[in-house]
């Protein structure tokens, strides 16, 4: 993707002035603000209608920058070298003298950090004197945004600027791993947990147990298109939108294919945008066929499970 420098300048201008800006990442779009500024970060919570207790992920350009704010450890360095920049967020111990706004951490002593890979965002980060706090660019509990238009859909004219970076390549949020104490996966995501499990030798039970406790934003209804969604459906009801993961004969009237051939990466990439389309077409409910739990399927099923809590 070609980087438009005048757009980067515009984004920087608004961020330097404590405004929120929509930014592209390879996972989903973020609603970004200067992580060192109380004024800027408080705007994120207001725009997203996000509870104050739910901390934000901070996006950095490189290792040297994160060292100013966090204590790093060997496990982190190992994973950083292997996977960054990329779709993984690390919870680290915050340094006492860090400039990170208390809004970002909810006054706690840990910080979630991430090194996004998207070239447009990297260019922007390299031009800033501060890291960017950026939750997903959606109103709390709604579907994440994967394009500039989606961000516009969520916030309209309430945000001053959205930096365009095309469609997010992965389409699902980053994997979050807690590296304070014993490593734990807090959210399944774009970086497949198999890769992490091998390196850190997790027990599966441990992962499931900790997801709810440590990530406040993950324990309830989330990622919701705002209409009922049913999982593992073999017999859709006549007026339901049906999500399928490969082309096949279906006597159902309203079929939406997330992939032509069951490619789960493609399914992940198309999931949120297809849910958005279905909602705009005013369907009253969604049925989803069974999706294998392999690879990124684990994160897809995690999101769909949370979306299905809407009644
Ligand atoms: O891919 C992503 O991670 C996207 C892009 C924009 O980077 N961001 C994203 O942020 O998904 P958000 O705020 O929608 O989800 C971050 C999750 C929340 O559930 C929050 O509770 C958790 O990370 N989190 C943030 N800081 C934390 C911390 N210090 N300890 C535990 N969980 C934390
Ligand atoms: Mg989110």
- Give the model confidence (pLDDT) of 43-91 as tens digits: 999 999 999 999 999 999 999 999 999 999 999 999 999 999 999 999 9
| Helix boundaries (H) for the chain | 5-16, 38-48, 63-66, 74-83, 102-105, 119-126, 148-155, 193-200, 204-214, 264-280, 297-307
176 lines ligand 1 (CB under 6 A): yes
Whether 111 lines ligand 1, by a CB cut-off of 6 Å, is yes
For residue 89 the two structure tokens come to 């967020």
Nearest CA to ligand 1 atom 31: 215
Best mutation site among 191, 217, 219, 272 for ligand 1 pocket (most ligand atoms within 8 Å of CB): 217
Q: Which CATH superfamily does the domain covering 5-200 fall into? A: DHBP synthase (3.90.870.10)
**Whole-number Cα distances in Å, 11 to 6, 73, 121, 264:** 9, 33, 10, 33
Structure tokens at 293: 């739990």
Cβ–ligand 1 distance for 292 under 6 Å, the answer no
Residue nearest to atom 32 of ligand 1 (CA): 215
Q: Using a 6 Å cutoff on CB, does residue 169 contact ligand 1?
A: no
What is the model's pLDDT at position 211? 45
How does pLDDT run across 15-25, given as a tens digit for each residue? 999 999 999 99
Contact in structure between 140 and 41 (CB atoms under 8 Å): no
* Residues of the chain under the 50 pLDDT cut: 204-205, 208-214
Q: Which pLDDT does position 197 carry in this prediction? A: 79
- According to CATH, the topology of domain 229-307 is Rossmann fold (3.40.50)
Provide the residue ranges of all domains of the chain, joining segments of one domain with +. 5-200, 229-307
pLDDT value at residue 311: 73
Q: Is 89 in the pocket of ligand 1 (CB under 6 A)?
A: yes
Question: Using a 6 Å cutoff on CB, does residue 112 contact ligand 1?
Answer: yes
Nearest to 41 by CA among 85, 86, 101, 1: 101
Q: Which atom of ligand 1 is nearest to the CA of 214?
A: 31
What is the reported pLDDT for 17? 98
Number of H helices, E strands in the chain: 11, 14
């Amino acid at each position: 993707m070609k980087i438009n420098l005048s757009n980067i300048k515009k984004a920087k201008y608004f961020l330097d002035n404590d405004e929120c800006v929509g930014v592209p990442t390879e996972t989903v779009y973020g609603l970004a603000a200067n992580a060192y500024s109380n004024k800027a970060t408080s705007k994120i919570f207001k725009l997203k209608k996000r509870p104050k207790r739910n901390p934000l992920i901070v996006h950095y350009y490189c290792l040297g920058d994160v060292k100013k704010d966090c204590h790093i450890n060997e496990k982190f360095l190992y994973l950083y070298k292997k996977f960054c920049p990329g779709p993984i967020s690390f919870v680290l111990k915050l340094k006492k003298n860090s400039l990170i706004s208390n809004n970002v951490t909810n006054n706690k002593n840990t910080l979630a950090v991430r090194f996004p890979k998207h070239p447009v965002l990297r260019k922007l980060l390299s031009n800033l004197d501060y890291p960017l706090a950026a939750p997903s660019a959606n109103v709390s509990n709604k579907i994440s945004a994967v394009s500039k238009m989606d961000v516009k859909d969520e916030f309209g004219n309430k945000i001053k600027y959205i930096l365009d970076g095309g469609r997010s390549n992965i389409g699902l949020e980053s994997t979050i791993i807690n590296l304070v104490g014993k490593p734990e996966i807090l959210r399944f995501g774009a970086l497949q947990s198999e890769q992490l499990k091998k390196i850190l030798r997790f027990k599966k039970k441990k992962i499931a147990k900790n997801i709810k406790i440590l990530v406040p934003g993950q324990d309830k209804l989330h990622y919701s298109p705002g209409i009922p969604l049913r999982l593992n459906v073999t017999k859709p009801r006549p007026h339901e939108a049906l999500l399928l993961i490969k082309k096949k004969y279906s006597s159902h009237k309203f079929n939406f294919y997330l992939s032509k051939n069951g490619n789960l990466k493609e399914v992940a990439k198309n999931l949120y945008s297809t849910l958005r389309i279905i909602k705009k077409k005013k369907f009253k409910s969604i049925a989803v066929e069974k999706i294998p739990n392999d690879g990124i399927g684990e994160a897809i099923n995690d999101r769909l499970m949370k979306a299905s809590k809407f009644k």
